[in-house]
Amino acid sequence: MERRKEEQPIIYIPEEKLLTKLFTKFFTVMRMSCEEEESESLPSLEEVEDIIGYKFKDRSLLQRAFTHTTYRDDSCSSYERLEYVGDSVLGLLIAKEHYSLYSDLGPGMLTRLRAPNVDKEKLARVAVTHNLDKYLRHKKPLLDTQIREFKKAILDYPSHSNGLIDAPKDLSDIVESTIGAIFLDSGSSLDTTWKVVEKLLQPVITPATLQIHPVTKLKELCQKYKLNVQFIDLWEKTREIEVFIDGEFIARGVYRSKRSIAINRAAKNAYDEILRRLLKENINLYDEIVRRLLEKHYNIKEI
């Protein structure tokens, strides 16, 4: 008698679960494919070595220096720890250089001089000047747009905006992480690291090119002419900061993303307006003096 084949039990998968499985598999494959394509399209980090003029012994440090926290790469961690090292090393290098160059400057002035040479905007400028931003591996949705806006904004400020524009922190991060990577790769050599840093930071800000902060500048001007300055903070409601001098509205500053930049812009606009008015008053005063002298000595009553 012929033996019957055992029938395989039919497993019924609910339609919703089946669709979920199919979609999960589909999107996993698509994500892996996109990541492979993106990895292939990224420029080689060897180009970074040519830009900065330093060849890495440990290439993994360079790879890590340009890996953002949002970038998925199991073989490489992000640049956060290198950034921490680079930040400290950069501050030390600039302090050491300024101490040697400017023996007549006190600690207060040295601190003021160091700040714009190591701040977020300065380092972001370094990144875009040397095109380091195109080597950054990231998955941050708005970062590319922010970088484009920053590149456009700095055209109005060749050296430093002094707090009037917002620089993407991610740009300054990769400069600091690169400095940290060089420092560690070179066996903690400050001299080797400085050779790279000095080239990247050009043009450096010197005592001759150092600007006064817009708020400080405004307050010093008002103090000189015995004017009472008042900032009205409307930022939470309108993203505006208004400036009043002796109770009169003078100027406003607007910036949607950061209150501090709105304040700086308001101070800059107010300073420019007060200076314009003072200049006009001086011109009027000069004209009045000339008129009186002509009338007194030459009997000329009209110019």
Q: Do 284 and 257 form a contact (C-beta atoms < 8 A)?
A: no
The rounded distance, in Å, linking the Cα atoms of 120 and 163 is 10
The rounded distance, in Å, linking the Cα atoms of 23 and 13 is 15
The rounded distance, in Å, linking the Cα atoms of 96 and 209 is 19
φ and ψ of 169, to 5 deg: -60, -30
**pLDDT number for residue 35:** 45
- The DSSP string of 104-165 is T--HHHHHHHHHHHHSHHHHHHHHHHTTGGGG-B---TTHHHHHHHHHHHGGG-SS--SSSS
Does an H or E element contain 254, and which?
Answer: strand 248-254
**pLDDT number for residue 182:** 98
**pLDDT number for residue 34:** 42
The rounded distance, in Å, linking the Cα atoms of 99 and 105 is 8
**pLDDT number for residue 282:** 79
Q: Is 292 helix (H, G, I), strand (E, B) or coil?
A: helix
SS3 string of 2-63?
Answer: CCCCCCCCCCCCCHHHHHHHHHHHHHHHHHHHHHHHHHHHCCCCHHHHHHHCCCCCCHHHHH
**pLDDT number for residue 55:** 97
CA angle 102, 104, 109 (to 5 degrees): 75
The rounded distance, in Å, linking the Cα atoms of 297 and 303 is 14
Q: Which residues of the chain have pLDDT under 50?
A: 26-40
Q: ω before 203 within 30° of 0 (cis)?
A: yes
**pLDDT number for residue 9:** 58
Q: Is 244 helix (H, G, I), strand (E, B) or coil?
A: strand
